[in-house]
Amino acid sequence: MIYESNSKIKKILEKIKFFTLKNKLEIFLFFFFLLIFVIYSWDTITDSQCPFHYDSHAIWIFSKNLIQNKSLIYSDPLSELFEFKVFYHFGGYLSNNKFYTIRNYGEIFLTSFGLLLGYKVPFYLISLLGTIGVIFFYLFAKNIFNKKIALISTVLFSLSYPMINWSNQLISNVPAFSLFITGLYFASDIFTNKNNKLSRYILPSLFFALSVWMRYQYLVFLLFLIPWIYKTRKSIKLKYFVIAILIFILLLTPIFFLNYHLHKSPLTFGNIMKDIEITKKSADKIFKNEMLNIMINTFLWIYNRFLSKLVRLDFITLINNLKYYLYDIFPGLIIFSILGYVVIFKEKEKNKLNFAIFSLLYSIYWIFRIIPRTLLRPEDIKIEGPIPRYFLMVYCFVILISIFFIFYLSKKFVRLKILNYIIIILLIIITVLNTSSLLKGSGYTVFAHNAKKQRNKINIIIKDFPDKSIVIGDRRFFLHGIIGRKTLDLCEITIIDKEENCKVAVNYIKTLLNLNYPIYIIEKNYLSLTNYIQKNENDLIIEKVISEDYFEIYKIFYREK
Amino acid sequence: MKYIKSFIEKNNENLKLFLRINSTIFSIIIIIYLLLLIINQFWDRFIKEYININSVFILLLISGTFFLFPIIKEEEEFKEKRKLEREDIFLFLIMGIICAVLVWIKIKNFGIISYIISIISGLLTLVLPILLFYD
């Protein structure tokens, strides 16, 4: 009996061993992607999540408004009472006391969908899309290069600072990147002649359209695929290609309808309307001038917008700024990517060459479009700022080409194959070390994590306040990320003199108290409003209701006569 | 063009020697450059004061360009496959431990999470090359 059961266990163990050895890469990838999802949703898992970023706060408000009022226009009736628009302290533009979004519709719909399922779901959706993006990046790299290059590139890219940081935020850069790379993977199946079914034409158009919904610039990026399409035209079925383009256009048409519905013009987006509103304010200045001045102004506008970047192309400035946004984020890889491009153009292997042309066109355009024109110094650099999150595609291309070059070296140093693995190990160590120093240092990820934790705590506390409560604060300290109750931003009272500023704020508080709104002030704020009220306002009483290490909340009400 | 060709033919042996030396120098500079980048993560002031990484970067770029464009046709590439041996695994294990320790030093003030992150990064540096070698 014992002998029989022992042999059974042995057989099972052997089967497990066989299965593990056969599928070792797949097993590794499964656990690796699981780990990546945990890292990307770290803030949410550890209850330290809230729409902390200026843009994410706007996305949150508009998404919530979409669920509650079935509208993309946000309007606060209380705002009409005040000169300064203290309730509109997030991205958007104001017209006829209605607040219009400048965010992309895709991110608002995605967040709304998540909110329907739960408070944390929108954040998990971003992390999930980030992980999916990494998976499809692996598949795409495998299609163009090979399994080994795909594996190392995926590990380096997924563990890089920009991916970890922005997958933990409610911002659409990571979802847009993921959807685009997914579309690129399905398109690469056609380009490399691996699969030429109708589904491979429909899926890229679907994912490319979704990426455009998330961020409109991805529409421009599609243009860089034209050389690749042209060079592989023989493997493309024209009928399917036309169907794919029609589906792509069809999927984008709702954007134009929404634009028409909101701004009375299909091609006018929220951002454009905001620019127009700003121009309107300075319109008097322009149009009171003579005709000649108007012509000069128009020429200057065209010159500044389109020509100055080319005319004033300063190579030293460009290299200096690229050092901060490319070299410092991926030290060690840039040199290999330069040599990698040289190898690809030298070897002229069809798929790699087409990909290299696409990636080069894309990177050059985007670097010229995004990198600042002024000579940046270390103190000017904002690694946590917009540039690294706009550069996700550039980063993944740089990594892919560099790893290709390292494996190209192994062809040259066959006897010194171990050298290649040492290079790879050193690169992994450098990437992990650099990511951790950016996360806790200038990248502010750990700082943002702690700040979000604080705001999350505030959100939990203010849930007990009456429904109509208004929390007064300062967006430079605590206001962004507070979503439990309506918030009033003192920063929106744009009076330079602090005393005057406090007077206006107190008047607003009194108006709101007269309308029976419970008012709470969160300290600290730049005005130290509670101190001012205690010293100067005899008819108001302030009562500390919550005191924590890093914030205090005071309730304010009229003194009984 | 004729002049270049005749120059190459005349100095064939010398150029071959130069390219061979260059390929050795290239592989040495890569390792030095990557090690300097790691040192830079811990002692950036020391690196800034005594060594200029940018000059190593430029040296690597020049050497790499020569490495990529051999004027003389190379000898046939070696086609033998190298198998994973015990010494290799031992080397990867040591590198994995070094990686884990370095990451831990960098993030030790994170608390318990620093141990988890450093163990995972150490495991990654151990498993990945083995996976690649095994293929």
Say what the ipTM of the complex is. 0.87
Is the pLDDT confidence value at A249 over 90? Answer: yes
The Cα-based distances of A300 to A29, A293, A312 in angstroms read 54, 10, 14
**Taking Cα atoms as reference points, which of A301, A188, A172 lies closest to residue A236?**
A188
pLDDT classification of A7: cutoffs 50, 70, 90: confident
Check residue A294 and give its pLDDT: 56
Dist CA A49 CA A52 (whole Å): 8
Least trusted range by pLDDT, from A144-153, A196-205, A363-372, A396-405: A363-372
> What's the mean pLDDT in A511-540?
87
**Cα Rg of chain B (Å, integer):** 21
Dist CA A106 CA A103 (whole Å): 9
Share of chain A above pLDDT 70, in %: 92
Least trusted range by pLDDT, from A151-155, A503-507, B17-21: B17-21
For residue A436, give the nearest of B34, B92, B103 by CB distance: B103
Q: Given the DSSP bridges, would you call strands A519-523 and A470-473 parallel, antiparallel or unpaired?
A: parallel
Dist CA A427 CA B125 (whole Å): 10
Check residue A250 and give its pLDDT: 97
B109 contacts in chain A (CB < 8 Å): 440
* Domain ranges for chain A: 2-40, 463-558
Peptide bond into A147 cis (omega under 30): no
Supply the DSSP string of chain B, one letter for each residue. -HHHHHHHHHTHHHHHHHHHHHHHHHHHHHHHHHHHHHHHHH-HHHHHHH--HHHHHHHHHHHHHHHH--SSPPPPPP-PPPPP-HHHHHHHHHHHHHHHHHHHHHHGGGTHHHHHHHHHHHHHHHHHHHHHHH-
Check residue B74 and give its pLDDT: 52
B23 contacts in chain A (CB < 8 Å): 412
Supply the DSSP string of A363-400, one letter for each residue. HHHHHHHHS-SS---GGG--TTSHHHHHTHHHHHHHHH
DSSP letter at A495 equals -
Residues 6 or more apart whose CB falls under 8 angstroms from that of B106 comprise A433, A436, A437, B41, B42
Residue with tokens 């600072």: A161
Burial class (CB in 10 A: 0-12, 13-18, 19+), B18: middle
Burial class (CB in 10 A: 0-12, 13-18, 19+), A419: middle
Check residue A299 and give its pLDDT: 66
Interchain contact B38–A (C-beta under 8 A) = yes
A435 contacts in chain B (CB < 8 Å): none
Chain A's closest residue to B127, CA to CA, is A28
Report pTM. Answer: 0.90
Contact A422 B31 (CB under 8 A): yes
* Domain ranges for chain B: 1-79, 81-135
Q: What are phi and psi of A289, to 5 degrees?
A: -75, 170
Burial class (CB in 10 A: 0-12, 13-18, 19+), A219: middle
Sign of CA dihedral A510, A513, A517, A522: positive
Dist CA B108 CA B17 (whole Å): 48
Chain B's closest residue to A447, CA to CA, is B110
Interchain contact B77–A (C-beta under 8 A) = yes
Burial class (CB in 10 A: 0-12, 13-18, 19+), A217: middle
Nearest chain A CA: its distance from B121 CA (Å): 7
Whether the Cβ atoms of residue A522 and residue A458 lie closer than 8 Å to each other: yes
- For an interface test with A, give the residue of B45, B68, B133 to mutate (most A CBs within 10 A): B68
If one compares B7 and A23, the residue with the highest pLDDT of the two is A23
- For an interface test with B, give the residue of A149, A343, A432 to mutate (most B CBs within 10 A): A432
Interchain contact B107–A (C-beta under 8 A) = yes
The tens place of each residue's pLDDT in chain B, 135 residues long, gives: 677 778 777 777 888 888 888 888 988 999 999 999 999 888 877 777 788 888 888 899 899 888 887 655 555 455 556 677 788 888 889 989 999 999 899 888 888 888 998 999 999 988 888 888 766
Retrieve residue A518's tokens: 């419970």
Retrieve residue B19's tokens: 């390219």
Is the pLDDT confidence value at A274 over 90? Answer: no
Whether the Cβ atoms of residue B123 and residue B103 lie closer than 8 Å to each other: no
Interchain contact A67–B (C-beta under 8 A) = no
Dist CA A419 CA A234 (whole Å): 41
**Taking Cα atoms as reference points, which of A224, A29, A214, A260 lies closest to residue A105?**
A214
For residue A428, give the nearest of B40, B69, B128 by CB distance: B128
Whether the Cβ atoms of residue A131 and residue A37 lie closer than 8 Å to each other: yes
Fill in the amino acid letter for A561.
Answer: K
Retrieve residue A370's tokens: 């995004």
Contact A440 B107 (CB under 8 A): yes
Residues 6 or more apart whose CB falls under 8 angstroms from that of A41 comprise A123, A124, A127, A128, A167, A168
Nearest chain A CA: its distance from B8 CA (Å): 21
Task: Rounding to the nearest 10 degrees, give the CA dihedral for residues A223, A224, A225, A230.
Answer: 90
**Taking Cα atoms as reference points, which of A131, A129, A154 lies closest to residue A143?**
A154
Check residue A371 and give its pLDDT: 83
Contact B132 A28 (CB under 8 A): no
Whether the Cβ atoms of residue A456 and residue A462 lie closer than 8 Å to each other: no
For residue A152, give the nearest of B57, B110, B128 by CB distance: B128
DSSP letter at A339 equals H
Contact B92 A425 (CB under 8 A): yes
Sheet holding A540-547, edge to edge: A486-489, A470-473, A519-523, A552-558, A540-547
Nearest chain A CA: its distance from B132 CA (Å): 6
Whether the Cβ atoms of residue A21 and residue A138 lie closer than 8 Å to each other: no
Dist CA A142 CA A473 (whole Å): 51
Interchain contact A453–B (C-beta under 8 A) = no
Interchain contact B124–A (C-beta under 8 A) = yes
Beta-carbon pairs below 8 A across chains A and B: 118
pLDDT classification of A377: cutoffs 50, 70, 90: confident
Contact A423 B106 (CB under 8 A): no
Interchain contact B65–A (C-beta under 8 A) = yes
Nearest chain A CA: its distance from B100 CA (Å): 9
Dist CA A445 CA A442 (whole Å): 8
Check residue B18 and give its pLDDT: 86
Dist CA A179 CA A130 (whole Å): 9
Interchain contact B133–A (C-beta under 8 A) = yes
B29 contacts in chain A (CB < 8 Å): none
Dist CA A201 CA A187 (whole Å): 7
Contact B27 A413 (CB under 8 A): yes
Least trusted range by pLDDT, from A38-47, A59-68, A539-548: A539-548
Contact B95 A335 (CB under 8 A): no
**Taking Cα atoms as reference points, which of B54, B55, B67 lies closest to residue B23?**
B67
Is the pLDDT confidence value at A456 over 60? Answer: yes
Q: Express each pLDDT in A102-149 by its tens digit.
A: 999 999 999 999 999 999 999 999 999 999 999 999 999 999 999 999
Interchain contact A415–B (C-beta under 8 A) = yes
Is the pLDDT confidence value at A500 over 70? Answer: yes
